[in-house]
Amino acid sequence: MRIVLMGPPGAGKGTQAARLAARAGVPHISTGDMFRQAVREGTPLGLEAKGYMDRGALVPDEVTIGIVRERLRQEDAARGFVFDGFPRTTVQAEALDRILAELERPLEAAVELVVPDAEIVRRLAGRRVCPQCGATYHVEFQPPARPGVCDRCGAELAQRPDDREETVRERLAVYRRQTAPLVDYYRAAGILVQVDGTGAVDAVTASVLEALR
C-alpha cells in the first residue's frame, strides 16, 4: 500500500491512517506527529516548527520535504506507507512524486476524506490526544475506557494546543487556500479517490478499503 490521506483538519486522517497502515503492515507517516514529537523533544526542528503550528500556519516546504525524504529512506518504508497530512502544498506534492520516482515506487492513490465544516468543528473541539504515545480519542465519538486516561499507555489525555477555536479557523483557511488545490492535482494524475468521511470510524475504514480495491 502506497497512499496519501488528504482532507481538512479533523477529517480523520490520523484515525484512518493508523488503521490502514496497521492492516497493510506499512508505516503510518504523519508529518504533524513528527513535528509534535520534535517539539516535545525540544530539537531545533521542533523549535522551528512550533511557531508555525501554534498559529495554524504551515511549516516551510523545504523543512517538511527534508524530513519526509529522510523518513522514506528508512527500511520499513520499502514495504509501502500511508502518508497523513503530507503533502499539503503543490510544491510538496511535486517533491514527493520526484522522490518516489527515484525509488521506483510511485503513489497508488490519494484518498480525500470528505467531511463538512460543522462536523469538523465538533470533532476537533472534542478531540483528546495522548501526549505520551500519540493515541487519539474523542470525548463523545471515541471515548477511552476511563475518562481522561489513555487506553494504550495509561497517560493523562490532553487537548492539542492548535485545537483552540481561533487556530482551528486559521487551519481550515490554510487548508482551503494551500492544500485543497491538491485534489485537482491528483485528479489530473488519475489517482484521486474521494471517500465520505462522515459515519462511524469502522464504516469509513471499510469505505476507504473498498474504494482502493
Q: Please give the residue ranges that form the binding site for Mg ion (CB under 5 A).
A: 14
Is 130 an interacting residue with respect to Zn ion (CB under 5 A)? yes
Name the grid cell of 87.
Answer: 503533502
Query: How distant is the alpha carbon of residue 208 from its chain centre?
Result: 15
Binding string to Zn ion for residues 145 to 184, with x set by CB under 5 A, is what?
-----x-xx-x-----------------------------
Rounded CA-CA distance 126/146 in Å is 15
Active-site positions read: 13, 88, 127, 160, 171
- State yes or no: residue 53 binds ligand AP5 (CB under 6 A): yes
Helices 181-189 and 90-102: angle between axes, nearest 10 degrees: 30
Q: If binding is defined by CB under 6 A, does position 141 make contact with ligand AP5?
A: yes
Alpha carbons 88 and 7: distance in angstroms, whole number: 10
Report d(CA 121, CA 176) in Å as an integer: 15
Q: Using CB under 6 A as the criterion, which residues of the chain lie in contact with ligand AP5 when the complex forms?
A: 7, 9-15, 31-32, 35, 52-53, 56-59, 64, 85-88, 92, 123, 126-127, 136-138, 141-142, 162, 171, 199-201, 204
